[in-house]
């Protein structure tokens, strides 16, 4: 379409809306001098004739309105008055008017320049002449759910947003390329040579590897060149780009195609071309290390945290400038403690000084370096699972239980009556303070201790050694019962020595006595029925963390031995299915697939009539985002009765599915319903933590969570125990004292 044809279309529309006098002295006219080719088509501005022809500023429409004429269909759309806003279809007198309902992900992205893609339009609502909705609606069968709702990693910048939108079919190739010209990338840079290593630039292929953020840089890199893609497109030989946009988005862009699009739609934003350092090697940080050493009386300063930053990046995170300073502080304090005549004083605020509590073999608090949930203090290989996912799952479990404890077993109407129309909105007061861990988290810690103390890990060739494991589980539950006041003798290990674990939380005498009867082998004791069997899923999964560390019967055998000590077979089967989901969710890969995907993938791998009830549950509780049309987000309250094992599992899936990138909302969904809110919240928190790690959980809640560093420590110990290089080999007798043999 030529510009003249587009202008004529807008002129006809102006006459249709304003009548034949539109071209008179008091009418409107197209501003021919400002007609512009834009990505969506032609931008045709208009204003008053009095302003355009007579120069009367008092008659100017400001900001000047503009109509977009789309190509190739010629649709007319009213341009948004602000940059980045979305255009809307124009209205014609006497004709029905339907307003687009654009997916909020796209509407908030600021990509209005690229137009409104049909796959991002959820549907249309009919409006009257005054713009009020009439109640009539139409769905768009071509609509596709956006990447954030599908569970892609949440974009951190415009480049990652573009790549994610393109990956789900919201943007055409041309729209993507136009958007890329407005973006910047990071290229690893050598400060000494002032060049990019050949690993990132291949002269033979004229290929340049670029990254969407410093967080995504390879772990060993600490300096960068930041440049906009329009500048790269203007090189004499524009490089072919391999764009790393994060864990789930990669894109290859030929230099020639980027150059061609830049000629048609040149970048209007200021150019970017600069070098910089990552926070861990900033010059001010070295000065801070020297000042800290002098203040604490050290003979020399600690090194800047390059190694810590590398380990954080390998686990998908980046240390902030503040975290780098606190790492220097924490290491300086630890060095002070190691001096021949160490000071007995400790900083009053451990966290502000880069330290957090850990617990020694006697259950006493000992300061350790704060790693911010971003990397393990010990060196782990992460043979099969990612440390950040394991720790995130355990902390998320505890956090979800703490969030739901105050409303556990309450009806939804009772929750609303007590906490308001939106129910629980923050960590509520439970027990005596917000954030107190519950009895299920206590049991999770002792069951985790059980898998560490299982003899099969260190005696894999011993005959019938796996048969000893149910006895180990009974011993672990016995130690938990000991902390709750039961007369259990010879309770050893370090967990029973942690005073806070002796608090009794939300468990009555009847349930304690039922556990006691099962643990002590009372022949009259019948297995329990209920969803707490699901607690066995997480510890069971860790037994398969390393090469040859699992049971001969796999994870399902471990679940049977863990949950089967106390619960009935139907509940154990549900726990087995959940363990298989966790097995995939805890992957060491950079991307962990969302629950709506994993829950079905597991069933595809374990087909059979015995899994029919679970398959029905997934169909009821989990939306499917892999097809066109509006996804049916599920409400936890509508999944089962909220008390049975499958219902609790289904409600946790429903709470999280589609909300993986909205952690606070997902966790609130998991507790604001009738039934077992504490356990539903715990499972949702564990699945969420497995995807986003501790840093991705709601920070304000994690900071209030009781013993969250102990939980992180136990989870780390368990992963270390089953890693390729066992903690037992590294620590010897100290490890045996911590986790005695059975």
Which pLDDT belongs to residue 741?
Answer: 81
Nearest CA-CA partner of 737 in 349, 429, 360: 360
**Percent of the chain scoring above 70 in pLDDT:** 99
Q: Mean pLDDT for the chain? A: 94
Query: Under the phi-then-psi rule, with left for phi > 0, alpha for psi from -120 to 50, and beta for the rest, what region is 354?
Result: left
- What is the three-class DSSP state of 244? strand
Nearest CA-CA partner of 373 in 147, 697, 29, 23: 697
Measured in whole angstroms, how far is the alpha carbon of residue 648 from the centre of its chain?
A: 22
Sequential DSSP letters for 199-233 = TTEETTTTEEEEESSGGGS-TT--EEEEEEHHHHH
The dihedral formed by the CA atoms of 741, 534, 653 and 411, expressed in degrees to the nearest 10: -130
Give span(s): CATH 1.10.4080.10, the chain. Answer: 387-738
pLDDT in tens, 2-36: 999 999 999 999 998 888 777 777 789 999 999 99
Nearest CA-CA partner of 248 in 157, 323, 154, 181: 154
Distances (CA, A) of 66 to 15, 35, 87, 526: 15, 9, 10, 76
Which pLDDT belongs to residue 325?
Answer: 98
Average pLDDT rounded to a whole number, residues 579-605: 96
Strands 184-188 and 223-228: antiparallel
Burial bucket for residue 290 (CB in 10 Å: 0-12, 13-18, 19+): middle
Does residue 498 or residue 463 have the better pLDDT? 498
Average pLDDT rounded to a whole number, residues 246-257: 93
Furthest C-alpha separation in the chain: 101
Which pLDDT belongs to residue 344?
Answer: 62
Which pLDDT belongs to residue 368?
Answer: 97
Two tokens, residue 638: 């509508």
Element (H, E) at 311: helix 306-314
Average pLDDT rounded to a whole number, residues 648-657: 98
CA distance 156 to 164: 11
Which pLDDT belongs to residue 536?
Answer: 96
Least-confidence region, from 178-182, 341-345, 527-531, 663-667: 341-345
Q: Which runs of E-coded beta strand occur in 259-385?
A: 273-277, 355-359, 365-369
Residue 131's CB is within 10 A of a number of other CB atoms, namely: 9
Average pLDDT rounded to a whole number, residues 441-466: 89
* 72 prior amide bond cis, ω within 30: yes
Element (H, E) at 66: strand 66-70
Residue 272's CB is within 10 A of a number of other CB atoms, namely: 15
pLDDT in tens, 83-120: 899 999 998 888 889 999 999 999 999 999 999 999 99
Least-confidence region, from 433-447, 460-474, 538-552: 460-474
Provide the β-strand partners of residue 240: 207
- What is the three-class DSSP state of 47? strand
CA distance 370 to 286: 19
User: CB within 8 A of 425, min separation 6: which ones?
Assistant: 419, 668
- Candidate CATH numbers 1.10.260.40, 1.10.3720.10, 1.10.4080.10, 3.60.90.10; the one for domain 387-738: 1.10.4080.10
pTM, two decimal places: 0.94
Distances (CA, A) of 742 to 144, 398, 559: 55, 28, 19
pLDDT tier, 725 (very low <50, low <70, confident <90, very high otherwise): confident
Residue 297's CB is within 10 A of a number of other CB atoms, namely: 10
Least-confidence region, from 128-132, 253-257, 313-317: 128-132
CA distance 85 to 89: 13
Nearest CA-CA partner of 331 in 366, 364, 303: 303
pLDDT in tens, 373-431: 999 999 898 999 999 999 999 999 999 999 999 999 999 999 999 999 999 999 999 99
Q: Which residue has the tokens 């926070």?
A: 279
Which pLDDT belongs to residue 140?
Answer: 96
Which pLDDT belongs to residue 742?
Answer: 67
**Residues 370, 351 contacting (CB under 8 angstroms):** yes
Residue 9's CB is within 10 A of a number of other CB atoms, namely: 18
Provide the β-strand partners of residue 187: 225
Average pLDDT rounded to a whole number, residues 174-201: 92
> What sign does the dihedral 597-602-605-606 (CA atoms) show?
negative
Nearest CA-CA partner of 478 in 517, 536, 522: 517
- What is the three-class DSSP state of 454? coil
pLDDT in tens, 334-371: 999 988 776 667 888 999 999 999 999 999 999 999 99
Which pLDDT belongs to residue 343?
Answer: 61
Q: How many CA atoms lie within 13 A of 201 on its CB side?
A: 13
CA distance 10 to 66: 9
pLDDT in tens, 484-496: 999 898 899 999 9
User: CB within 8 A of 123, min separation 6: which ones?
Assistant: 101, 137, 138, 139, 140, 143, 630
pLDDT tier, 726 (very low <50, low <70, confident <90, very high otherwise): confident
**Residues 174, 261 contacting (CB under 8 angstroms):** yes
Which pLDDT belongs to residue 706?
Answer: 98
CA distance 669 to 660: 12
* 432 prior amide bond cis, ω within 30: no
């Amino acid at each position: 379409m030529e510009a003249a044809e587009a202008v004529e279309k807008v002129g006809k529309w102006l006459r249709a809306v304003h009548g034949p006098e539109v071209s008179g002295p008091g009418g409107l006219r197209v501003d021919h001098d400002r007609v512009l080719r834009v990505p969506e088509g032609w931008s045709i501005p208009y204003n008053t004739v009095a302003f355009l022809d007579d120069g009367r500023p008092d008659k100017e429409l400001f900001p000047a309105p503009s109509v977009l004429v789309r190509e190739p269909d010629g649709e007319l759309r009213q341009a948004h008055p602000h940059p980045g806003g979305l255009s809307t279809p124009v209205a014609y007198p006497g004709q029905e008017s339907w307003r687009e309902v654009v997916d909020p992900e796209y509407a908030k992205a600021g990509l209005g320049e690229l137009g409104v893609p049909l796959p991002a339009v959820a549907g249309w609502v009919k409006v009257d002449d005054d713009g009020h909705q009439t109640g009539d609606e139409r769905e768009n069968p071509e609509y596709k759910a956006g990447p954030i709702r599908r569970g892609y990693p949440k974009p951190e910048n415009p480049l990652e947003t573009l790549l994610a939108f393109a990956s789900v079919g919201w943007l055409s190739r041309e729209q993507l390329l136009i958007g890329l010209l407005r973006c910047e990338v990071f290229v690893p840079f050598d400060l000494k040579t002032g060049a990019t290593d050949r690993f990132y630039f291949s002269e033979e292929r004229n290929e340049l590897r670029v990254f969407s953020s410093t967080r995504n840089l390879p772990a060993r890199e600490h300096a960068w060149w930041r440049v906009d893609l329009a500048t790269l497109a203007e090189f004499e030989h524009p490089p072919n780009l391999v764009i790393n946009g994060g864990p789930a988005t990669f894109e290859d862009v030929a230099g020639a195609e980027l150059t061609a699009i830049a000629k048609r739609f040149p970048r209007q934003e200021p150019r970017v071309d600069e070098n910089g350092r990552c926070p861990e090697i900033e010059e001010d940080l070295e000065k801070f290390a020297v000042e800290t050493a002098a203040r604490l009386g050290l003979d020399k300063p600690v090194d800047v945290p390059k190694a810590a930053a590398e380990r954080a990046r390998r686990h998908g995170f980046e240390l902030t400038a503040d975290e780098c300073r606190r790492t220097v502080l924490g290491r300086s304090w630890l060095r002070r403690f190691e001096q021949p005549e160490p000071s007995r004083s400790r900083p009053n605020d451990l966290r502000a000084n880069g330290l957090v509590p850990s617990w020694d073999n006697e259950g006493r608090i000992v300061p350790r370096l704060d790693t911010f949930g971003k990397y393990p203090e010990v060196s782990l290989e992460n043979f099969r699972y990612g440390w950040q996912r394991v720790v995130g799952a355990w902390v998320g479990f505890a956090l979800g239980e703490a969030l739901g404890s105050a409303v556990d077993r309450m009806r939804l109407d009772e929750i609303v009556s007590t906490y308001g129309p939106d129910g629980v909105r923050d960590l509520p007061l439970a027990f005596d303070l917000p954030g107190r861990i519950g009895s299920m988290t206590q049991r999770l810690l002792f069951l985790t201790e059980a898998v560490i103390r299982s003899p099969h890990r260190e005696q894999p060739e011993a005959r019938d050694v796996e048969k000893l494991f149910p006895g180990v589980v009974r011993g672990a539950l016995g130690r938990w019962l000991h902390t709750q006041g039961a007369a259990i003798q010879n309770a050893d290990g370090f967990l029973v020595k942690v005073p806070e674990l002796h608090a009794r939380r939300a468990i009555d005498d009847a349930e304690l006595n039922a556990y006691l009867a099962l643990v002590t082998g009372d022949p009259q004791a019948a297995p329990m029925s209920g969803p707490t069997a699901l607690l066995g899923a997480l510890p069971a999964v860790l037994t398969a963390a390393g090469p040859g560390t699992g049971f001969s019967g796999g994870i399902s055998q471990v679940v049977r031995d863990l949950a089967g000590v106390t619960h009935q077979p139907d509940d154990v089967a549900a726990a087995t299915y959940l363990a298989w989901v966790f097995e995939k969710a805890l992957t060491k890969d950079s991307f962990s697939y969302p629950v709506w995907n994993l829950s079905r993938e597991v069933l595809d791998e374990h087909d059979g009539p015995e899994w029919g009830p679970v398959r029905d549950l997934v169909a009821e509780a989990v939306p499917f985002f892999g097809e066109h049309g509006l996804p049916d987000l599920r409400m936890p309250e509508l999944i089962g009765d909220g008390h049975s094992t499958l219902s609790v599992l289904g409600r946790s899936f429903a709470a999280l599915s589609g909300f993986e990138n909205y952690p606070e909302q997902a966790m609130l969904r998991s507790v604001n319903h009738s039934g077992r809110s504490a356990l539903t919240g715990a499972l949702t928190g564990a699945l969420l933590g497995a995807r986003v790690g501790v840093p991705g959980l709601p920070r304000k809640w994690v900071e209030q969570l009781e013993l969250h560093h102990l939980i992180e420590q136990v989870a780390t110990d368990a992963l270390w125990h089953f890693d390729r290089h066992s903690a037992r080999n590294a620590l010897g007798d100290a490890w045996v004292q911590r986790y005695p043999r059975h």
